[in-house]
Chain A
Amino acid sequence: MSSTAKKKGFGATIWDYLTTVDHKKIAILYLIAGTFFFVVGGIEAMLIRIQLAKPDNDFVSAGLFNEIITMHGTTMIFLAAMPLLFAFMNAAVPLQIGARDVAFPFLNSLGFWLFLFGGIFLNLSWFLGGAPDAGWTSYASLSLASPGHGIDFYALGLQISGAGTLIAGINFLVTIINMRAPGMTYMRMPLFTWTTFVASALILFAFPPLTVGLFFMIFDRMFDANFFDHINGGNTVIWEHLFWIFGHPEVYILVLPAFGLFSEIFATFARKRLFGYSSMVFATILIGFLGFMVWAHHMFTVGLGPTANAIFAVATMAIAVPTGMKVFNWLLTIWGGNIKVTTPMLYALGFIPSFVAGGVTGVMQASAPLDYQLHDSYFIVAHFHYVIVGGIVLALFASAHYYWPLMFNQMLNETLGKITFVFFFIGFHCTFFVQHFLGLMGMPRRVFTFMGGQGWDQFNLISTVGAFLMAIGVILLVVNVIITAIKNEPAGRDPWKDGRTLEWAIPQPVPYYNFKQTPLVRGLDTFWIEKMEGNKEGMTYAEPISDIHMPNNSFIPFMISLGLFVAAFGALYHQDTDKTWSIPVLIIGLAITFASMITRSLKDDLGYHIHKEELMNEKGGKH
């Protein structure tokens, strides 16, 4: 939707997006793909709630229900929440640190296409013999026993999209370390940049165990290995460990950027510096660190023994301390501020009580003996939805409104935004609050139906009603996006008027090279400092206008990902004796990937330069 794109024809625009290495366009790709998968996961959620609206319901069958819950969880975590966060990271982080792009624009594109092809592969299972049905955790004994190819789609699809995530994580780490503008010291970085940094480090260390676990699963199911086959010496608990060594940090990979986004929103709309910035940074790092020490609290009932359980229980409780610090710092940020309740701020304000509720139930479950009762009951379902919806999804919705003008130079409708919030927020509490009690009343999770007369009927119905309210909220958001796109009114620079950080200082629409001159950062909230000093341009510059080096677009990332996508089909059908084409397909796919990689390696790609003279003539090219 940038001005350059409008001049092009439709085909040229598509080609532009297929080959782009521009972080702003990749952000839009992530946003579109993530939203698509969010809607798919949402439809699956609605099917679950319709099935459980009344006892002994037969809206969906038992096997299909298990496929739906598995795909709901997997889709929402891997294909909706993470890409949507990557959308905002890509859109905002390079601008926040005053960079012209990420460190590896090519890899940025590769990360996206790997994620997308992995996600498509996983979802194709619906049409090719059935989706995975062992839960998003895919515990080994059940997933090995699962017939059909569902679990194979799960393992291969996540492997491909996981590689994309790992690449994106490394990219953000290098970007934030190497690409900061002069004066942007670590302790001047906006909190969203900080949380992106820590979350990327978590990705780096958390995804390899998942990769290994998925390979074991692939080998066991498709190539007759024995990692999880206890008759041949394997052990299913290894999968549980590997999954949760990944799975628990994954929670923080998702929630830390959400914290960062809310920190930006609170400071902006309270018109006040983030309270206790340095302790917020410290808390972020501490949460990231402790996030690796607590995975076994997902396994209290596995029988690891009292010592392991006690240690992991206490370590888990410790995480509540830095998290609590954050909550109080947010409260003190708005305390004494000048609060404007815009739509993003409304979400941020809704986030505090919701997330605190989710956090305290987390501490309750950290208490191992109590968790023996709560584990795998509806209580845990309520807990993690309070954290994920109350924390992450609210952050995503808030940021959609907050960063829409940055990404598209348009403002989403504020009134409609607030109505959306009311539906979604009330629906959310209505859906999940009662589930705490369902769990306490003995209802296990992942049940496709329940018999009447166990005291659960009423609350399940309330929960379903809430889910419909949430669905209305999501539909309203989509309507808002469509209306805004049709209206197409430019929002201009600093549309919220209270922007504090560099991304708001840049002219709109954002030039494809970002900063004409690299800015000089003079403190935390650098744009705010310049504004307060009456600097109309909003930036002090670190350099005169000079040539800008830009990377070339490339179609190779698409081809590398496509090759793996093709190869995955070969691996998947390798076990079916009637499908003799499987090995050739595997080889062809890998050949496409390796040929693309070798092309990339052998062909010099030096990028191009935008010359000084061109820059001077650009619109808004003041000097």
Chain B
Amino acid sequence: MMKGLKKWRLFGLLAALTIFLSGCGEEYLSTLTPAGQVGKDQYNLLLLSTAIMTFVIIVVVIIYVLAIVKFRRKKVGENTIPKQVEGSHTLEIIWTAIPIVLLLILAVPTVSLTYKFADTKAMEAKDADGNAKAVTVNVTAKLYWWEFEYPEQGIVTSQELVVPTGQKVYFNLKAADVKHSFWIPAIGGKMDTNVDNINKFYLTFDKESDGLKDGVFYGKCAELCGPSHALMDFKVKTLSQDNFNNWVDNMQATKGKKADKNSTDLGEQVFANSCISCHAVSGEGTGGGVAPNLAAFGDRNRVAGFLEHSEDGIKNWIKNSQELKPGNIMPEEKALNNGKEFTDEELDALAAYLMGLSVEK
């Protein structure tokens, strides 16, 4: 009796958890709150497969519980020898056939969606002027940051992907050093970035990210890539078509922007002396940078992908980058500044300068 109670208690706990969980997960991160067609299709497949599998579990549990309740030795008798049944062909056929049918039900959408998600032919489609019809982003994963190049628009950004809503956005995925994996859980499934070849796939973004808690969707690296794998986050800003066009124009307008060593702004001077050799401040150009492009840094949501986006966050990062994100290639503070630490004044000015690098304000 006690045992039975314990089992029920456990079962009750699990049931309560399940209910509690059903509405759970954060809107900007959870696969259970899909905000794009790919993610929605996958979510529906999740529901279908869960329904089938729950059916299987229920059948098993019913037979299992009945068997344990009915055929315990206490009930059957200490010395009873049960009939030594060999088996049953009918039953074998039933429990072979029914699972096959259930699996076929699951297999049909599986195969059709597999082909649907892999269909990237429209990437190549050009309009009358020879411009690509669809938005394509070249994603390069690096230790431990993300570069997003828009080849058609001639712009490049990093750490924060900006995309238009309501259309298929195509991705060319590649890794520059070791293998990573590109995943925006709330939008759709992941695809690996290999070192050997370029992978292509698409996602659609149905919802503008403006209303979300941080104003962005969260993206993750899903393949172990070294010590700071857990910190290799990126963010996704989804904009209406008009806003996206504006953003592209503003990015293109940063063409030729440079930090000037002789600037009156101390922050810009420091940047020009210590940072410019790796970090660009113009968003116009192509990918392949050694360090994240900072043209739109002020518009971003995080420093280094995971730290609080504030002047304090920047200063903390510059002072402790190796400790905060082990294995990244940002040099130590002293290596940046001719063997000296930055003065507080310089750091404040640099942080202010970086926060001012914006194309949206």
- Give Cα A272 to B67, complex, Å: 13
Q: Is A303's CB within 8 Å of the partner chain B?
A: yes
Which A residue sits closest to B22, measured CB to CB?
A437
Collect the chain A residues with CB atoms within 8 Å of residue B199's CB: 303
Q: Is B340's CB within 8 Å of the partner chain A?
A: no
Which B residue sits closest to A238, measured CB to CB?
B196
Task: Provide the A246-281 mask, 1 if CB < 8 A to any CB of B, else 0.
Answer: 000000000000000000000000111101111100
- Give Cα A135 to B179, complex, Å: 13
Q: Looking at the complex, which of B86-94, B240-248, B311-319 is the stretch in contact with chain A?
A: B86-94
Q: Is the CB of A367 within 8 A of B45?
A: yes
Q: Looking at the complex, which of B123-131, B225-233, B267-275, B290-298 is the stretch in contact with chain A?
A: B225-233
Collect the chain A residues with CB atoms within 8 Å of residue B194's CB: 236-237, 302-303
Q: Is B175's CB within 8 Å of the partner chain A?
A: yes
Q: Which of B24, B72, B92 has the most CB of A within 10 A?
A: B92
Identify which of residues 410-445 in chain A touch chain B, using a CB-to-CB cut-off of 8 Å. Answer: 422, 426, 429, 433-434, 437, 440-442, 444-445
- Give Cα A337 to B115, complex, Å: 49
Our pick among B87, B181, B224 for the contact of A277 (Cβ within 8 Å) is B87
A314 with B107: in contact, given A139-B223, A337-B71, A373-B189 (CB under 8 Å)?
Answer: yes
Task: Provide the A304-315 mask, 1 if CB < 8 A to any CB of B, else 0.
Answer: 011001100110
- Give Cα A356 to B29, complex, Å: 29
- Give Cα A303 to B82, complex, Å: 55
Which A residue sits closest to B94, measured CB to CB?
A328
- Give Cα A441 to B117, complex, Å: 22
Q: Is A554's CB within 8 Å of the partner chain B?
A: no
Q: Is B284's CB within 8 Å of the partner chain A?
A: no
Q: Is the CB of A370 within 8 A of B87?
A: no
Q: Is the CB of A377 within 8 A of B222?
A: yes
Q: Is B81's CB within 8 Å of the partner chain A?
A: yes
Our pick among A273, A335, A426 for the contact of B67 (Cβ within 8 Å) is A335
Cβ distance A302 to chain B, nearest Cβ, rounded Å: 5
Q: Is the CB of B175 within 8 A of A317?
A: no
Q: Is the CB of A373 within 8 A of B67?
A: no
Identify which of residues 135-190 in chain B touch chain A, using a CB-to-CB cut-off of 8 Å. Answer: 175, 177-179, 181, 183, 185-186, 188-190
Q: Is the CB of A328 within 8 A of B190?
A: no
- Give Cα A437 to B185, complex, Å: 13
Identify which of residues 354-387 in chain A touch chain B, using a CB-to-CB cut-off of 8 Å. Answer: 356-357, 360-361, 363-364, 366-373, 375-377
Collect the chain A residues with CB atoms within 8 Å of residue B16's CB: none
Cβ distance A456 to chain B, nearest Cβ, rounded Å: 9
Q: Is the CB of B106 within 8 A of A139?
A: no
Collect the chain B residues with CB atoms within 8 Å of residue A620's CB: none
Collect the chain A residues with CB atoms within 8 Å of residue B57's CB: 353, 356-357, 360
Q: Is the CB of A449 within 8 A of B63?
A: no
Q: Is B17's CB within 8 Å of the partner chain A?
A: yes
Collect the chain A residues with CB atoms within 8 Å of residue B99's CB: 320-321, 324
- Give Cα A518 to B160, complex, Å: 74
A369 with B83: in contact, given A236-B194, A441-B32 (CB under 8 Å)?
Answer: no
Q: Is the CB of B110 within 8 A of A142?
A: no
Size of A's binding interface in residues, CB under 8 A: 94
Q: Is A295's CB within 8 Å of the partner chain B?
A: no
Q: Is A170's CB within 8 Å of the partner chain B?
A: no
Q: Looking at the complex, which of B48-56, B329-337, B352-360 is the stretch in contact with chain A?
A: B48-56
Our pick among B10, B17, B111, B327 for the contact of A426 (Cβ within 8 Å) is B10
Our pick among A145, A306, A320 for the contact of B115 (Cβ within 8 Å) is A306
Q: Is A204's CB within 8 Å of the partner chain B?
A: no
Identify which of residues 49-104 in chain B touch chain A, using a CB-to-CB cut-off of 8 Å. Answer: 49-50, 53, 56-57, 60-61, 63-64, 66-68, 70-73, 76-77, 80-88, 91-92, 95-96, 99-100, 103
Cβ distance B170 to chain A, nearest Cβ, rounded Å: 14
Collect the chain A residues with CB atoms within 8 Å of residue B181's CB: 301, 376
Q: Is the CB of B186 within 8 A of A442?
A: yes
Q: Is the CB of A310 within 8 A of B114?
A: yes
Q: Which of B30, B117, B178, B231 has the most CB of A within 10 A?
A: B178
Q: Is A230's CB within 8 Å of the partner chain B?
A: yes
Q: Is B299's CB within 8 Å of the partner chain A?
A: no
Cβ distance B64 to chain A, nearest Cβ, rounded Å: 6
Cβ distance B169 to chain A, nearest Cβ, rounded Å: 16
Our pick among B68, B87, B91 for the contact of A349 (Cβ within 8 Å) is B68
Q: Is A448's CB within 8 Å of the partner chain B?
A: yes
A145 with B61: in contact, given A277-B87, A454-B26 (CB under 8 Å)?
Answer: no
Q: Is A340's CB within 8 Å of the partner chain B?
A: yes
A338 with B80: in contact, given A306-B114, A368-B114 (CB under 8 Å)?
Answer: yes
Q: Which of A279, A328, A366, A433 has the most CB of B within 10 A?
A: A328
Q: Is B234's CB within 8 Å of the partner chain A?
A: no
A373 with B46: in contact, given A139-B179, A313-B110 (CB under 8 Å)?
Answer: yes
Collect the chain A residues with CB atoms within 8 Å of residue B179's CB: 139, 141-142, 236
Q: Is the CB of B82 within 8 A of A338?
A: yes
Size class of B's contact patch? 35 or more
- Give Cα A361 to B186, complex, Å: 20
Q: Is the CB of A353 within 8 A of B60?
A: yes
- Give Cα A306 to B119, complex, Å: 9
Q: Looking at the complex, which of A58-66, A107-115, A150-158, A177-185 is the stretch in contact with chain B?
A: A58-66
- Give Cα A369 to B30, complex, Å: 17
- Give Cα A313 to B226, complex, Å: 30
- Give Cα A369 to B189, complex, Å: 8
- Give Cα A325 to B183, complex, Å: 37
- Give Cα A63 to B227, complex, Å: 5
Collect the chain A residues with CB atoms within 8 Å of residue B14's CB: 429, 433
Cβ distance A587 to chain B, nearest Cβ, rounded Å: 34
Cβ distance B225 to chain A, nearest Cβ, rounded Å: 6
Cβ distance B44 to chain A, nearest Cβ, rounded Å: 9
A236 with B92: in contact, given A142-B178, A314-B111, A356-B57 (CB under 8 Å)?
Answer: no
Q: Is B220's CB within 8 Å of the partner chain A?
A: yes
Cβ distance A615 to chain B, nearest Cβ, rounded Å: 35
Our pick among A331, A334, A369, A441 for the contact of B31 (Cβ within 8 Å) is A441
- Give Cα A367 to B44, complex, Å: 12
- Give Cα A310 to B231, complex, Å: 33
Q: Is the CB of A272 within 8 A of B85?
A: yes
Q: Is the CB of A276 within 8 A of B189?
A: no
- Give Cα A412 to B73, complex, Å: 21
Q: Is the CB of B30 within 8 A of A145?
A: no
Task: Provide the A131-159 mask, 1 if CB < 8 A to any CB of B, else 0.
Answer: 00111000101100110000000000000
Collect the chain A residues with CB atoms within 8 Å of residue B100's CB: 321
Q: Is B35's CB within 8 Å of the partner chain A?
A: no
Question: What 5 A-B pairs are tightest by C-beta distance, nearest first?
Answer: A372-B189, A447-B230, A442-B185, A276-B87, A360-B53
A-B contact sample (12 more), CB < 8 A, given A62-B228, A276-B88, A376-B190 = A328-B60, A328-B91, A334-B68, A367-B45, A370-B110, A376-B181, A441-B185, A442-B218, A444-B221, A448-B230, A454-B26, A455-B29
Q: Point out residues on A near B: beta carbons under 8 Å.
A: 61-63, 65-66, 133-135, 139, 141-142, 145-146, 230, 235-237, 270-273, 275-279, 301-303, 305-306, 309-310, 313-314, 317-318, 320-321, 324-325, 327-329, 331-332, 334-341, 349, 352-353, 356-357, 360-361, 363-364, 366-373, 375-377, 422, 426, 429, 433-434, 437, 440-442, 444-451, 454-455, 532
In the complex, 23 of the A-B residue pairs with CB atoms within 8 angstroms, ordered by the A residue number, are: A62-B228, A66-B229, A142-B179, A236-B196, A275-B85, A275-B86, A278-B87, A310-B110, A318-B103, A336-B85, A349-B64, A363-B53, A364-B53, A367-B49, A370-B46, A370-B110, A372-B191, A373-B39, A375-B222, A429-B14, A437-B24, A440-B30, A441-B30
